[in-house]
Structure 1
Amino acid sequence: MATIAVLGLGAMGSRMAANLIKAGHSITVWNRSPSAAQGLVEQGARPAETPKDAALGSDIVLAMVRDNGASRQVWLDPDTGALAGMHEGALAIESSTLTPDWVRELGSRLAQRSVAFLEAPVVGSTPQAEGGQLMYLVGGDPNSFTRAESVLKAMGSSISHVGPVGSGALAKLATNALLGIQLTALAELIGMLTHAGADVAHILEAVAKTPAWSPAAGRVTSLMLAGNVEPQFPIELIEKDFGYALGTAGPEAFAPTLAGARHVFRVAIERGLGKDNMTGVVKLFT
């Protein structure tokens, strides 16, 4: 069993850490708000005051934070960052949704200190994190992937090695963009059917039998029709991911569909819906 530090105990990171504890690993946890660690401490985790303190003596350090800026601070802050506490030969795993450019920079900085690196962003939200059913899109060298695979399997049901560092971020941004585009289109169609006076659920049940439908479409449509906006993947986070995808794609003229979907989420944020689950965008159209 490994000695693992988990940095970031939000909705996803806390559940990932809990599954590592259940798998028998020795876990140290850190979060910007220390109170978030209490439940995990009761399960056997050791709390740390800084990412650096959490990393001291850890064979593996795993981060799950909000964005590029948070990732940079958690890993590279000269006084409190995890890298300052990691020993030569340790393994860093970054599971946040980030840009390929930042992930490559982070990998380079870690390599300068002889620390191995994998990016391992996840597909799935809180139910999958809680059930150990996340899907991992891993970028990095094959040896590091082999080293981390058993640890990732404690948190996920599908572990895919997609290429060198940067490939995982690209795969995750592509996944989230495809999900978000489907969601905004379905929200508009629900609005169209509602304003036409149709039996929305009945018509979409028929559409779901056609080749145009996807498993994701079924899940998000059920939530939208039920009015369920309990946050699993909040609007403000998927909008952030669209921004990262567009920054990677280049000028908006090269990705007009991405830009259009992002605009829907930005309007939702402007209307005070940013904390709602992404399915809350249906409120813009019904």
Structure 2
Amino acid sequence: MSNIAFLGLGAMGARMAARLIKSGHQVTVWNRTSAAAEALVAIGARQAATPKEAAVGADFVMAMVRDDDASRQIWLDPHTGALAGMSAGAMAIESSTLTPQWVQALGQQVTARGLAFLEAPVSGSRPQAEAGQLIYLVGGEQQVLEQAKPILMATGSAIHHVGTPGHGALTKLATNALLGIQVTALAEIIGVLQRNGADVPTVLGAIAGTSVWAPVANYLASSMVNEQFAPQFPIGLLEKDFGYAIQAAGAVEQVPTMAAARKIFQQAIAQGLGEQNMTGVVTLFKADSHA
């Protein structure tokens, strides 16, 4: 089994680290707020004070943090960054949802130090992370991916190799943009149905029997109709991903549908809904809403 450093213990990272521990790997964890590591320490993890300390002696260093800035800090800080603690032969695996530009820059920094690099963002939310059913969207060299497969499969059920570093980020941003657009479209449709006095579950059930209904729509519709907004993929994070996707497009004019959907998420954040599940945007379109 491998010695793994895991950096970032948010809702996804903590669940991924737990899966690695339960798979028999030796796991050292780090998080900006140390209390997040307590549950993992209780099941066998070692806690480090800095990313650099966590990376010392690790075969693999994995990261799951919020954005480019957090990723840059944990990897490249000259005093506490993980790269400063990594040894020859180790591999850096970045699983956060980031911009392609930063992933490419990070990969160059890693390989310039003679270390292996793989970007491995995931599709799936908290239940999939807990069950080890994440889908990896990988960018990097095939031989590097082969070395990392046993680690990735401890937390995932499928691996898609989509290209070189940066292409994984593009694939993840495209996936999340498509998801976010479906969320806003379904929220608007539910609002229309309510305003016209329709039996919403009955109408949605009929639509679900047609070819236009996407598999994820079952979950989205159920969450919206039943007002179950406990966070699995929070509104604030999906809005961030829309921003990264639009940045990758180069201009808002190139992605008008993404830009319009992002405005809905921004409106929800402005109304204090940023920590709710993404499906909480339906609140903006309820029959009694003036949005």
User: Normalising to structure 1: TM-score of the pair?
Assistant: 0.99
- Local SS of the residue matching 2:11: coil
1:24 equivalent in structure 2: 24
1:218 Cα offset (Å): 1.2
1:125 and 2:125 are equivalent in the alignment? yes
Q: 1:113-155: per-residue Cα shift (whole Å, max 9, x none)?
A: 1111000000000000000000100000011100000110000
1:228 equivalent in structure 2: 228
Distance 1:243 1:30 in 2: 27
1:72 and 2:72 are equivalent in the alignment? yes
Distance 1:216 1:174 in 2: 15
Distance 1:147 1:141 in 2: 10
- Local SS of the residue matching 1:230: coil
Distance 2:108 2:153 in 1: 26
- Local SS of the residue matching 2:62: strand
User: Normalising to structure 2: TM-score of the pair?
Assistant: 0.98
- Local SS of the residue matching 1:65: coil
Distance 2:226 2:187 in 1: 13
Distance 1:86 1:251 in 2: 38
2:9 equivalent in structure 1: 9
Distance 1:88 1:22 in 2: 27
1:42 equivalent in structure 2: 42
Distance 2:178 2:217 in 1: 11
1:95 Cα offset (Å): 0.4
Q: How does 1:238-277 map to 2 (within 5 A)?
A: 238-277=238-277
1:250 Cα offset (Å): 1.4
1:112 Cα offset (Å): 1.0
Aligned AA (2:186): L
1:219 Cα offset (Å): 1.0
1:252 Cα offset (Å): 1.0
Aligned AA (1:175): T
Q: 1:73-128: per-residue Cα shift (whole Å, max 9, x none)?
A: 00000000000000122100000000000000000000111111000000000000
Aligned AA (2:253): A
2:163 equivalent in structure 1: 163
Q: 1:148-207: per-residue Cα shift (whole Å, max 9, x none)?
A: 001100000111111111110000000000000001000000000000000001000000
- Local SS of the residue matching 1:257: helix
Aligned AA (1:158): A
1:100 equivalent in structure 2: 100
What do you get for the CA RMSD once the two structures are aligned? Answer: 0.5
Structure 2: segments with no counterpart, 5+ residues: 287-291
Structure 1: segments with no counterpart, 5+ residues: none
Distance 1:251 1:125 in 2: 29
Aligned AA (2:268): A
- Local SS of the residue matching 1:12: helix
Q: How does 1:129-208 map to 2 (within 5 A)?
A: 129-208=129-208
Distance 1:229 1:208 in 2: 21
- Local SS of the residue matching 2:117: strand
Query: Which runs of at least 4 in structure 1 moved beyond 2 Å after TM superposition?
Result: none
Distance 2:264 2:88 in 1: 46
Distance 1:158 1:101 in 2: 25
Q: Percent identity?
A: 62
1:83 and 2:111 are equivalent in the alignment? no
Aligned AA (1:145): L
Distance 1:68 1:218 in 2: 32
Aligned length: 286
- Local SS of the residue matching 2:158: strand
Aligned AA (1:142): Q
